[in-house]
Amino acid sequence: MKFGYARASTEDQDTAVQEKALKAAGCERIYREKASGGRWDRPELQRLLDQMRKGDMLLVWKLDRLSRSLRDVLTIMERLGDCGAGFRSLTERPSIRLRQRGG
């Protein structure tokens, strides 16, 4: 299943452009959030990560919509790899199929 994540940093910004691109890429469910990308305590991101299963794909419009912190991006990629999911940024290439640990 393809899951999308759309984030805006402030309340006066919207995620419409991101959501349109994620829908066009085939996302079946899109999680939306208005929160700083430098924060780890983003409830929608956590819900999304909890939903990911083997074979799923997490899509974002742009990598900085996922997080502004390299440490957090690496943590997210590790979690995706642990469950056998993949990652794709629509504006940056390539797609990544993460390898599960121990497998």
Kindly list the catalytic residues: 9
Q: Token digits for 40?
A: 């780890």
Q: Radius of gyration over alpha carbons of the chain, in Å?
A: 13
Give the other-Cβ count within 10 Å of 65's Cβ: 22
Taking alpha carbons only, the member of 41, 53, 58 closest to residue 6 is: 58
Q: Which residues on adjacent β-strands are paired with residue 57?
A: 2, 86
Cα(72)–Cα(29) distance, integer angstroms: 22
